[in-house]
Amino acid sequence: MYIRFVVDELNEESNQRLGIFHAVRYMKDDNKFYDYELEQIEEIMNWFSKHLESPLDHLNKKKLKRSNVFISWFKISATRHIAKVRVLASHLENKGITVYQVMTEEPGKITYSDKYQIFAKPFNKF
């Protein structure tokens, strides 16, 4: 089982709902958070930088050229990572942004996998 956190905004490149990391980044860019919120968000984002590999570093460049539509999913067993994402979700929800948990057993063609996550080319719209 895999889990993904999304908002209602559509990512034009992938035609999928925007993932939580992008949503947080866009809200930060638009200065929507108070300083104390930003402090906690930055702490969480730094934690992810240390504890989650970037699938893009591992993908073959040819795969990236053929299709740029890849979606990241957490493995349901990545409980610590998911707990941190839920804190990010609470910051968005405090600003009126609804965050949805999407779960699936069929995320698409998996192109990368590690202990905590997968990167997949979706078969469906999530």
- The Cβ of residue 70 has, within 10 Å, a number of other Cβ atoms equal to 22
How many residues appear in the chain? 126
The b/e string for 36-49 (b: 16+ C-beta within 10 A; e otherwise) is ebbeebeebbeeee
Least confident of 25-29, 59-63, 90-94, 121-125: 59-63
| Residue of 43, 1, 40, 3 lying closest to 20 (CA atoms) | 3
Specify the pLDDT at position 15. 83
Span 45-71, mean pLDDT?
76
pTM of the model: 0.87
In the structure, what pLDDT confidence band is assigned to residue 64 with cuts at 50, 70 and 90? low
Specify the pLDDT at position 58. 66
Could you give the CA distance from residue 3 to residue 105 in angstroms, rounded to a whole number?
Answer: 9
Specify the pLDDT at position 3. 98
Give yes or no for residue 62 having a pLDDT over 60. Answer: no
